[in-house]
Amino acid sequence: FLPEIRNEKVITPVMPTYARADLAFEKGDGPYLFAQDGRRFLDFGSGIAVNTLGHAHPHLVKMLSEQVAKLWHTSNLYRIPGQEKLAERLVANTFADTVFFCNSGAEANEAGIKMLRRYQHVSGTPEKNRILVATNAFHGRTLGTLTAGYSDKYREGFGPMPEGFDRVAFGNLNELRNAITPNTGGILIEPIQGEGGICRPPEGYLEGVRKAADEFGMLVMFDEVQTGIGRTGKLFAYEWSDMVPDIVSSAKGLGGGFPVGALLASEKAAVALPAGMHGTTFGGNPLAMAAANAVLDEVLKPGFMDHVLDMSQLIRDGLDAIARKHPGFIAEVRGMGLLLGMKTVPTNVDVVAKLRELNLLTVPAGDNVVRLLPPLNITKSHVDEALEAIDACAAALTK
Ligand code: PLP
């Protein structure tokens, strides 16, 4: 049986780091994906909260096509007008004074972790190099972000891991305050946990985090890789609270399907990374910036966020009706905007598989949650279609 003995390779050319569904798509149109075998799927996963405007959105296609014909990449050795435009728009619409561009969520978080640490270094308190992180957190798959994240499974065998993270229960302000030592310099949390199961902290928690940080000379960084770019019905989820963070990471929805990451920061925090202290070859290249600017053209239109919230309410109302009709299927509905989590009674993996059979794509998360992350520009007819599939799934799995 051993491959060496049979002198045969069993590994696939694509490194098998994912247990993939046996399904390949060849075309997308709005919230629909078309498989190679002709089946049409309603995409309520959006490539894990990425396709902000669905697939092949005409404005994105136009802006990217124009840029493709002009200029792809120049490096950060030169000014990049698309970067300057995107940064100005993010600054104008958030707490941030300045933005660093990269290519993914994990990279944005790495940059943020470096900024948290080095802020204390340049402030004359280099001993404050430890960062408080939360249970059930997910921040990415690099060594640093894996250490900040909760899952032991994801770290298994990859040690030694970087040092300097202390974990507290997400949402528990007392525990957070008690965990602060003279060596604590920053707090890194998701304002709503995504992979952990679409978990919102209790009322007042984020404000309490801010207060504790101010009291003890610490910075607050939010990982908004999943929650940002309108997903919750605000450009960034922190806007739902009565506080502002010092640093916010963004990715996923920012490029609408093109890999773009960003680290937003206040001037106070960003002095930690002067010229030469952080970098990237690809980050913020003209092609990526064309994609992200095109996404913002749509997301920043008046009424866009109201639409997200309207669609969210329709889904929630529909899920409530399904929960009443099929007891023993939905345990709880969580989240905000179109970052919705349906905790199910059957296993979430079974529900996601059954929904896929019914041509609805969703994404599992922790705590037995099925994530509903449709493109933000879906309409009522798409919601109705999704609810019909969820109703049929509930009927099938509670029989
Ligand atoms: N942070 C959060 C909250 C995420 O949900 C994810 C991805 O799921 C990441 C970071 C990592 O982003 P990426 O996969 O782009 O590195």
Per-residue pLDDT 10s for the chain (399 aa) are 565 566 678 999 999 999 999 999 999 999 999 999 999 999 999 999 999 999 999 999 999 999 999 999 999 999 999 999 999 999 999 999 999 999 999 999 999 999 999 999 999 999 999 999 999 999 999 999 999 999 999 999 999 999 999 999 999 999 999 999 999 999 999 999 999 999 999 999 999 999 999 999 999 999 999 999 999 999 999 999 999 999 999 999 999 999 999 999 999 999 999 999 999 999 999 999 999 999 999 999 999 999 999 999 999 999 999 999 999 999 999 999 999 999 999 999 999 999 999 999 999 999 999 999 999 999 999 999 999 999 999 999 998
Residue 237 has what DSSP assignment? G
| Cβ of 146 less than 6 Å from ligand 1 | no
pLDDT of residue 399: 83
What 3-state DSSP class applies to 161?
A: coil
pTM score > 0.85 for this model? yes
CB atoms within 10 A of CB 358: 17
Pick from 357, 351, 392: nearest CA to 372: 351
Q: State the distance from the centre of ligand 1 to the C-alpha of 225, rounded, in angstroms.
A: 6
Amino acid at residue number 23: L
Phi/psi zone of residue 276: left (φ > 0), alpha (ψ -120 to 50 degrees), beta? left
Give me the amino acid identity at 297.
D
Q: What's 162's DSSP letter? A: P
Which runs of E-coded beta strand occur in 237-356? 247-250, 261-265, 330-336, 339-344
Distance between Cα 255 and ligand 1 center (Å):
14
- Ligand 1 pocket: which of 226, 280, 371 to mutate (most atoms <8 Å of CB)? 226
Q: Using a 6 Å cutoff on CB, does residue 104 contact ligand 1?
A: yes
Interval between CA 262 and ligand 1 midpoint (Å): 12
Nearest CA to ligand 1 atom 5: 226
Give residue 9's pLDDT. Answer: 83
- Amino acid making up residue 271: V
Structure confidence at residue 210 (pLDDT): 98
Does the beta carbon of 393 sit less than 6 angstroms from any atom of ligand 1? no
Helical spans, DSSP H, in 123-257: 143-148, 152-155, 173-179, 205-215
- Is the CB–ligand 1 distance for residue 225 below 6 Å? yes
Name the DSSP letter for residue 129: -
Alpha carbon of 3 to ligand 1 centroid (Å) = 35
Residue of 46, 104, 252, 254 to test ligand 1 pocket, by largest number of atoms within 8 Å of CB: 252
Ligand 1 contact, 142 CB (< 6 A): no
Assess whether the C-beta atom of 105 lies below 6 angstroms from ligand 1. yes
Instruction: Retrieve residue 137's tokens.
Output: 């957190």
**What is the pLDDT at residue 105?**
98
Euclidean distance between CA atoms 4 and 171, whole angstroms: 51
Q: Which residues 6+ apart lie within 8 Å of 261 measured at CB? A: 101, 102, 103, 104, 105, 107, 108, 225, 249, 250, 251, 254, 283
Rounded to whole angstroms, how far apart are CA atoms 399 and 386?
20
